[in-house]
Structure 1
Amino acid sequence: MTTSQPSPALVDSGDPLALERQVCFALSVAARNVVGVYRPVLEPLGLTHPQYLVMLALWQHGQLSVKELSGLLQLDPGTLSPLLKRLEAAGLLRRERNPADQRNLALALTERGRALRARAEEIPVGIVERLGMPVEQLTALHEALTQVIAASQEALAAPGTAAGAPSGVA
């Protein structure tokens, strides 16, 4: 992992295709690096980052259907299936047919899964410390990313529309 900053000549070159000017590149690198910061914090809990997201949703919402969880995490149910199987094998959740609708799987935390929450409560503060960024800056970033998510969802929902980006930022 390199920590060098892009050359000012590249960023200021005016080239709309300069790698360092691409929002998609910055988001991709930031996501990979932040997940990397979580990795050693989650290992003692026996969780990967995607599994942690599943557990967060279940700790917050309680029992969920796979469809509901898929919507919350914005992941395809086919992507969730192997994660859920591993969490079930680890004894953290149960997958059961929903009594109200046998076609749907209901996900529920086990006692072990509920107990893991107490250990996980230390994670957010630990991540903030590891990043070494002010909470206010991380909060502002979260708000900006939430806006990017909403804008990208709108763009995906309206295929064929040409949304113009401001010059030099893509």
Structure 2
Amino acid sequence: MKFVSVKLIICLTGMPGAGKTTIAEGLKSKGFDKITMGDAVREEATRRKIDPTGANLGKIMIELREKNGQGAVAELIKDVIQNSKSDVILVDGVRSLAEVNVLKKIGTVKVLAIHASGDTRYKFLTGRGRSDAPSDREDFTKRDSREIGVGMSESIALADETISNNNMTIQELVDTAYRVIKGWMN
């Protein structure tokens, strides 16, 4: 008889620039696999030969949800999670409870929300040099509205744990997240 271990799926949620990717990158050294929801959308943009700007990725994300349901982006990563050798998977960028519910079908799910003020997030986003960085404050506000519109506020509000990332160093943020996750592993 073959025993299959149940994966612990840690859903990192929070508004853009709150620190989700920073945590996921920092915890890879602890042996956790990292899967980024946004990468699934970026791959879809590449497949369609669409420039991966923030606006274009937002349109694709909304289109996928309208066509295939609110959990559509999570559906894109299910196989990757199931084929992972790791027992703990970090899913960076969960945006809705529908996505959480999709992932609950394939493992034990915990939701870790990362919160940071708008000013802090804007500074982080404009400083990281990604193609989807906001071009100005108006672009930033539109992106926030789009994220809230797909259910981000619910996933944050109903998280199992929340970390406030307004005055933390990167190491403090990663260490805090690791302590929370270790508690869930016991």
Q: So what's the TM-score if we normalise by structure 1? A: 0.29
* Structure having the larger proportion of residues in helix: 1
Query: Which structure has the greater CA radius of gyration?
Result: 1
Which of the two has greater strand per residue? Answer: 2
Larger relative contact order (C-alpha < 8 A, sep ≥ 6)? 2
